[in-house]
Structure 1
């Protein structure tokens, strides 16, 4: 009786492996996120009517103004969150 049980176990295992392989071949995996092509941001072309130094200075000034705006927005947000948390506390 021991040999019969061993043969059944092996037959069941072989059947399970075969069924699993068939299932794995039938499953089609789709990517979770659709692939998109991201174009890099292009800098505007340089204005060659003035000197390169003036163009660089204008770009640096725009960049600094942009960074200052971000800094103000972060500080305003942090202050509003702190005010909201303190209001809940009391």
Structure 2
């Protein structure tokens, strides 16, 4: 069944329900011809609903230890990079300072 037909059937069911409660057709809708509720095709519902099985808890020991060891290795690697970067920075600054004369030259007039 196409969605347009399903939509029209839903509108027809809704209007039939409204008419049964109000006892008359709503204003502005008097000229529309609707299918009676007993002639409307109904969508079959599932007969049995099976609840989803609960997920099994994940054993934390192995995963937790692996994650902790990887985090520790990552931190150690990052510390190594930081130490190497600091040593390189100090070496470059030492070279720059050594190349700068200690006393500035007087400005020329």
Query: Structure 1 length as normaliser, TM-score?
Result: 0.44
Q: Which has the higher contact order (CA 8 A, sep 6+)?
A: 2
Higher alpha-carbon Rg: 2
